[in-house]
Structures are given as C-alpha cells and as structure tokens.
Chain A
Amino acid sequence: MATKYDLRLVEAHADVSAQPSAELPSALQRTARVPEPGGLGFDRRAFLKAASLPCFAACAGAVIGRHDAVPVFAAALANDDSQYIKEARFYEKQDYRKIKCKLCPRGCAIDDRERGYCGARENRGGTYYTLVHSRVVTAHVDPIEKKPFFHFLPGSEAFSIATAGCNVNCKMCQNWDISQVRPEQVRSSYAPPQKVAELAVQYKCPSIAYTYSEPVIFYEYVADTADAGHALGIKSVVVTGGYIQQEPLEKLCRQVDAIKVDLKAYSEKFYKEVVNGELKPVLDALVAIRKRGVWNEIVYLVIPTLNDGDPEFTALAKWIKSDLGPDVPLHFSRFHPEYLLKNLPPTPIETLERAKAIADAEGLHYVYIGNVPGHPAENTYCPRCRKIVVERTGYTVGTVHIHNGQCQYCHQSIPGVWRA
C-alpha cells in the first residue's frame, strides 16, 4: 500500500521528541505534539513526525529512543480493509443503489461505489459503510487541557485517538494531513473499542478523547468505544466541529460525557467560504448539547481579518449567553498559519484580549485565551470573588481551589466535571 509517510520519520522524531515517560510503550507518546483543531500550531513537518509516529511504531514495532518496542495496536493488514468496514448508521436507502447520508447536515446523496464528502463512508451496492471503524491513524496520551477542556477533570490525561476524514474542509485546518485524506491514504492501525478502553486504563487516563480530525465521521467507532470505556469506568469526550444532524447528536449525547465544539465563526459567510459548511446546524447542535446536559465547552479560533471583528465577538457572546447561558466556557484561541491560510499572520494577542474583554462585558463567566502559554486568561477565575480557582500554565495545571464543585473561597458553584 502506498502511503504518504516514510518510516524514516520515526527515526527523525526520536531525535526531537518530547521524552516519553519511562513506563510508556514506545508506540504511544505522552506528549502534546498533534494539535487539536484550533490548537497550537506546528509546521507541517513537525506535525507529520508527530502524527505519524504512533502508528508507525505500532505497525512496524519500531524502537524509539531507549524504550523497547511494544506494539499498541495491530498493524493494518496489507490490502485488506475488511476489519474496518461496518455498515454505517444514519442513512437512507434509495432507488438504483443510491443512498442518502443522514449523519451530518450535508446530507450527501451518494451513488454506488462513491463516497460522501467526508471520504470515510462509502456506498457499496446500495449499502452505506463506514471505512474507519477501529482504524486509528494517531493515538496519544494528552493533557485534557489540550482539547481544550478546562472544566472537565483538570490535570488529567485523555487517551486520544483519531481516524482519517472530516465532514468539512476548513482552510485553517492544522491536521489536514489526516482530516483531509481518505483512510487508505494514511497508515493506520487496528484498534477495536475494547482495546482502546483497556489502554486508557493501562495509561491511567480517566477519559478517551475522540479528536484531531472529526469524530462525527467516525461516529460508530466513537459510540462503540464509549460503551467499552464506560464498562471499565472510563469517560468519553468528543472534540468536534458540531456539524451533525439532530438525531445522531441526540444519541451521541447519551453515550459521551463531554463535547467540545469548535465554533469556527459567528457568520454564515465564513462557514461557507472558509469552512465549507454551515453555521446554523452548529448552533443548533450547541443548543441540543446544552439541553441534554452533556458538559460542553466552546473554542473560537480567532483568525486575523476573517472572523476577528468586534461586532462578531459581541454577537457571539450575546448568543451564547442567551441560548446556552453564561456558564459555558468559551476559549478564544490563537491562530497559526496552516494549510490553505498560510498567507495570514498569527493572531495578535491584543485581538484575543479584546475578544475576551467583549465576552466578559457581555456577562459570560468563563472566557479563556488559548494557545498563548502563560497568559493569565488561562486560569479559571471564580465569577463571584474573582480569585483563581484553577491555575494553568500551558497544559500544566497548578493548584485547584474547587471543592465539591464550589469555589473554596466563596462557595460559588463552578460548573464542570471535577471528579472522575
């Protein structure tokens, strides 16, 4: 099978990697190298090294650094994708072997032998299949703060996995190497749900995170893995663009414990031109998640000239307050040039601070600045006494002054999931 990657990357990475912890099999990195959508940017080469590493190690049993090789996942069988292919949920059969996908709002109408926009689902003879069940392209043990979740088990680590594909095509995507490719175009490993759950336990991760690309397109795998995790006491968190139809979302909300939504902008124009999607279904999804009571945080990647206007910040904050409530954490994240937006500069920190000031003034209680390590707006402040209740520097969590979900100083309730 031809792949984009080269095994030499594994060796190259061994020279530059963050050091894996001693107890960690070499195939898995307890590092923060693969950016979350909207997360800290790396150049593409660095990304390739990081993203491809775990799977290569798993597939090849490669030795990295001083550690022995311990394959985490079984290697993909050459020229045999059958282990990854399962009938998809949420589609409708139509005449002449056509199908209509009902997973995301795009609603792809797909002919026989064709794929949906996501590239991860295929019509075969009038039956629709996911091609990525248990087909992991990258796996890491990440700080939960990297997702970012700031009100969900702070200081814990999440066993983080992704498959190839995405149902949008954001011009600023930092993980396009895995999100904008078809499953067979990248090296993958077989990681059935039970195995993922067991590894989360093994690595002392209280949660499994479905992240990096777009969990909506590997919905069946998420659902099955979440069930396997819960059976072992492991929670599941989803990092998504929120571009999903209501029925699958409702069912997903019953199976996962937290959902972080990348709200790319508060503008249909931006969604059409930059995301290749739509804003309204994402807003509807946020409301539905809130109504379902699943813990939810929002990231807004601030991109110079494209979604960084004060009126947009104001409208966004007003909508969140009115439709979701003031307690939903909102992260304004710094953009780094990537993919098809390399022509734009990184977001000025002053812009992020202005966005935060606007959201604060509108009455949101938990507004953060992301991708600016060391910024005071990484901390969680009690909305009543204004004292720091969770200290953070980058992905590192300091002292947590929350007890039984309340500020230790003034007993103000601080919403979130604070215990595993």
Chain B
Amino acid sequence: MPTHASATSRRTFLKRSATLGAGLLAGGAETWLGARKAFGAPPSQSRLVISRDSNLRSTPASLDSARLLNCLDRAMQALYDCDSPLEAWGKVVRPGEVVGLKVNCLAGRGNCTRPELVNAICERLQQAGIKEIVIWDRLNADLESAHFKIVERGSGIRCFGNDTLGFEDELAVYGSVGSLLARTLTQACDAVINLPVLKDHGIAGVTIALKSMFGAIHNPNKYHVDVCNPYVADVFMLPPIRKKVRLHICDATTAQYEGGPSFMPHWTWPYNGLLVGRDPVALDYTGWQIIEKKRAEAGMKSLTELKREPAYIATAADPQHALGSNDPKAIKVVEI
C-alpha cells in the first residue's frame, strides 16, 4: 500500500482531466466545461462524477494502481470542488473516526469492488488522518472470494464480514422492512463509504449503490420480491444507514449488463471508470442508464421491457423517502 499522498494540484488535475472524458451519456451529462463552471459552488447533493481512464488496465485482468488512484483523486476533487484530493477527503471524514468501507463481493473476484480501489481509498483516508478503517461485507467467505484478507482484530485496517460481529438484537423498522442491522455498521463504524459495483440484477434490475445496503441487514432474502421495490429504498431509510453512509464510490472498472448478480464474464465490459457521488439515487439512476445503453448496443431488450425496471430508484426519490434525485435534469453528471 502506498505510504504517501500523491496529491494532485488543481492545475495538474485540470490538465489531466482535459485529455480525458469523452461524453458517455446523452442528456443530463455535464461537459467538462460545465464541470469547470461548477467549481466554486458548494457540492450539489445530486452531482455525480464519472471518472474514467481508458488505460486503467495494465493487463486485461489487472488494474494499474497508479492510474486508478489518479482516477479516484480526480473524481474526489471534482465532486468536492477541491484543489487536492486530501482536501476533498477532509470533507468526507474527520480524524479519529472509524470509517467503514462497504464493499460488494457477492460475485467474487470476477466482478467485485476491486481490492486495488479499496487500497487507494485506504491510502487517502489514512493521509486524511483516519487511523481505523473497517472493510466489510455480508460474509467473510464473500470477502475472501474477492481476494480480501480477513483481519478481525488489531488496529489500523481490519476486514471482516457481518458473520464476525453478528447483528443487533432489536429490529430496525421502516415502511415495509423490519431487519436486524449488522453490528459492523451500527457499532464498529462511525461513518461508511459505500463501494458498490455496477451491474445488472436478475430480480432488482440493477444493483448499484442503494441495493448494496442489503449487505447490512440480516434478512435480504425477504426483500428479493417485486423487483425489490420498495424494499431497497426502505432499507436505506433505516437511520443507521441513512446517517452513516456519507459517500458512494461505485467501482465500474468492470461492469455487467446482464446475468447479474452472479459474475457472467461474457456479459461484462471494461467500463474503466468510477461513479462517485453523495446522492445514491442519482448514482443508481445514472448507472441504470449506462447499463441500459450497453444492453441496447448489445441488441438486448431494456429492463423495462423485461419487467425488471429498477422501480426502487423512483421510490427512493419520492417525497416519503427523499433519498436523492432520479430526475435527469436535476442530476449534474460531471464526466472527466
């Protein structure tokens, strides 16, 4: 793990960014010029940064850690309108906090939150004064299948599944859900950064930021009906989740447009990017559109036609939930 910050100055950042960033999305996407204009304004809740690097892979199977870190830095600076990545991270976490990194490893090494990305985030968090980091997901077995090493004890960076600490004794209830929350979330972490992946889901339509929090409850199997609506939104409303999750960094280095949540290599493609935002609804909506676009390119039916449109995204945006925006006009997509 790198030991020092390779902080990027704003000038360097601008130079690098200007060479990248082909537009990906039609409608709602903000151009680089637009992103530049946005600097100086307080970060919008519905700003979403898509940071990509076509040379992110050193080989088809491995990521270039330095370029990935750069990709992350550019995204953080753009999201928080900062001259350095550390300044941006200082707006996310405070020294002394225990920060949880919620990864998604269900599909194993093939399409999980990449350890290389987690390493990059850990590096920046430590530079931002964070001494205690907990990398977590549903199960130790899931983490190991994604090549994370289980470290349950000690200080510094730990890594374990919910089976290590178990679940709270009392139900957390909101709307249609009643669940026991993972103690990893409620007791081990002060703040959480959500690190989902970008992929199709055979029941929910897509699984990105919102649905990844199913990994924080004891009974996700009960909510895989009715395209997971309204369950995904209701789970996210549970106070410890809503209050502690501060940022979403979607690992879209590899994305999957069909056959999820299991890893189906023939339906993945190298998106070579990160989707970073504070609004999980905006992130999910945008990610869904990316997947739909890829499906259309592949000649596949849309999720709506297949009756698995991820309706929970709209539910999460409704006035009762108000978890973010699914209005493309209100989502500022910054592509860099």
Q: Which residues of B contact A3 (CB under 8 A)?
A: 166
Interface assignment of A319: CB less than 8 Å from any CB of chain B: no
Which residues from chain A contact B261 at a C-beta distance below 8 Å? 111, 114
Within 8 A of A (CB), among B174-201: 178, 180, 183
Binds A, one of B36-44, B220-228, B237-245, B276-284: B220-228
Chain B nearest Cβ from A33, distance in angstroms = 19
Q: Which of A2-56 contact B (CB under 8 A)?
A: 2-4
**B221 contacts A119, CB within 8 Å?**
yes
Measured between beta carbons, the chain A residues less than 8 angstroms from B260 are: 111
B229–chain A nearest beta-carbon distance, Å:
14
Q: Is B302 an interface residue, CB under 8 A from the partner?
A: no
B184 and chain A: residue at smallest CB distance: A2
> When each residue 208-223 of chain B gets 1 if its CB lies under 8 Å from chain A and 0 otherwise, what string results?
0000000000110110
Residues of A within 8 A of B108 (CB): 113
Give B131-153 as 1s and 0s: 1 = Cβ < 8 Å from A's Cβ atoms.
00000000000000000000000
Please tell me if the beta carbons of A276 and B225 are within 8 angstroms of each other in the complex.
yes
Bound together, the chains give a CA A98 to CA B258 distance in angstroms of 13
**From B258, which residue of chain A is reached at the shortest CB distance?**
A96
A106-129 contact mask (Cβ, 8 Å, vs B): 1 or 0: 101101111111110000000000
- Whether A117 touches B262, Cβ cut-off 8 Å, given contacts A2-B163, A181-B219, A182-B219, is no
Task: Judge if B333 is at the interface, Cβ distance under 8 Å.
Answer: no
Measured between beta carbons, the chain A residues less than 8 angstroms from B219 are: 119, 169, 180-182
Chain B residue nearest in CB terms to A340: B178
Beyond A113-B262, A180-B219, 7 extra complex contacts between A and B, CB < 8 Å: A96-B262, A96-B264, A112-B262, A169-B219, A182-B221, A184-B163, A276-B225
> Is A387 part of the binding interface, using a Cβ–Cβ cutoff of 8 Å?
no
Cα(A4)–Cα(B261), bound, Å = 28
Q: A111-B202, A112-B262 are in contact. Are A180 and B222 (CB under 8 A)?
A: yes
Nearest CB of B to A218, in Å? 15
Task: Check B115 for interface membership: any CB of A closer than 8 A.
Answer: no
Give complex CA distance A411, B169 in Å: 54
Across the A-B interface, the 9 shortest Cβ-Cβ residue pairs: A2-B166, A112-B262, A119-B221, A111-B262, A340-B178, A115-B221, A169-B222, A117-B221, A2-B165
Please, how many residues of chain A have a CB less than 8 angstroms from a CB on the other chain? 29
List residues of chain B with CB within 8 A of the CB of A171: 178
Enumerate 17 A-B pairs (CB-CB under 8 Å) in ascending A order: A2-B163, A2-B165, A4-B167, A106-B225, A111-B202, A111-B260, A113-B106, A113-B262, A114-B106, A169-B219, A181-B180, A181-B219, A184-B163, A185-B218, A276-B222, A276-B225, A339-B178
Query: Scoring A residues 76 to 113 as 1 if CB is less than 8 Å from chain B, else 0, what string do you get?
Result: 00000000000000000000111000000010110111
CB within 8 Å of A: which of B225-265? 225, 259-262, 264
Assess A117 versus B222: contact at CB under 8 Å? Given A96-B262, A109-B202, A340-B173: yes
> Is B127 positioned at the interface, with any CB of A under 8 Å from its CB?
no
What is the interface of chain A mostly: helix, strand, loop, or mixed? loop
Residues 170-186 of A, flagged 1 when their CB comes within 8 A of B and 0 if not, give 01000000001110110
Chain B contacts for A182, CB-based, 8 A: 218-219, 221
List the B side residues contacting A340 at CB < 8 Å: 171, 173, 178
Interface of B is mostly: loop
**Residues of chain A contacted by B169 (CB below 8 angstroms):** 4
A2, B165: Cα distance in complex, Å? 6
Q: In the complex, how many angstroms separate the beta carbon of B109 from the nearest chain A beta carbon?
A: 13
| A107 CB, nearest partner CB in chain B, Å | 11
Q: Does B164 contact A (CB under 8 A)?
A: yes
Q: Given the complex of chains A and B, what is the CA–CA distance between A119 and B179 in angstroms?
A: 14
Binding site for B on A (CB under 8 A): 1-4, 96-98, 106, 108-109, 111-119, 169, 171, 180-182, 184-185, 276, 339-340
Query: How far is it, in angstroms, between the C-alpha of A274 and the C-alpha of B264 when the chains are bound?
Result: 36
Are B166 and A117 within 8 A (Cβ)? no
CB-defined contacts of A112 to chain B, threshold 8 Å? 262
- Chain A residue at smallest Cβ distance from B259: A96
1/0 contact trace for B70-87 toward A, CB 8 Å? 000000000000000000
Q: B297 to nearest A CB, angstroms?
A: 21
A119 to B162, CA, bound (A): 16
Interface centre among B108, B165, B171 (most CB of A within 10 A): B171
> Which of A112, A119, A340 has its CB near the most chain B CB atoms (within 10 A)?
A112
A212 to B163, CA, bound (A): 24
Chain A proximity of B73: nearest CB distance (Å): 33
Q: What residues of chain A lie closer than 8 Å to B264, measured between beta carbons?
A: 96
Given the complex, which residues of A lie within 8 Å of B259, measured CB to CB? Answer: 96
Residues in chain B near residue A180, CB distance under 8 A: 219, 222
Q: Which residue of A lies closest to B261 (CB)?
A: A111
B224 proximity list for chain A (CB < 8 A): 108, 114, 117
Give chain A residues whose Cβ lies under 8 Å from the Cβ of B222: 117, 119, 169, 180, 276
Query: Which B residues lie within 8 Å of A96 (CB)?
Result: 259, 262, 264
Contacts of A119 in B (CB 8 A): 219, 221-222
**Contact, CB under 8 Å: A2 / B225:** no
Q: Which of B163, B164, B173 is most buried by chain A, counting CB atoms within 10 A of its CB?
A: B163
Instruction: Tell me, in angstroms, the Cα distance from A109 to B180 when the chains sit together.
Output: 25
Please give, as numbers and ranges, the residues of chain A lying within 8 Å of B106 by CB-CB distance.
113-114
Q: How far is the CA of A114 from the CA of B261 in the complex (A)?
A: 9
Q: In chain B, what residue has the closest Cβ to A6?
A: B169
Distance of A169 Cα from B171 Cα, bound (Å): 14
Bound together, the chains give a CA A115 to CA B138 distance in angstroms of: 13
Q: How far is the CA of A184 from the CA of B161 in the complex (A)?
A: 13
Least CB separation from B219: chain A residue: A180
Contact A116 B221 (CB under 8 A): yes
Q: Chain B nearest CB: distance from A126 CB in Å?
A: 10
A77 to chain B, nearest CB (A): 15
Residue of A nearest to B168 (CB): A4
Residues of A within 8 A of B183 (CB): 2
Asked whether A4 lies within 8 Å of B166 as measured between CB atoms, the reply is yes
Q: Which chain B residues lie closer than 8 Å to A181 at the CB level?
A: 180, 218-219
Q: Taking the nearest CB of chain B, how far is it from the CB of A227, in angstroms?
A: 29
A339 to B225, CA, bound (A): 21
The docked-state distance in angstroms from the alpha carbon of A136 to that of B107 is: 30
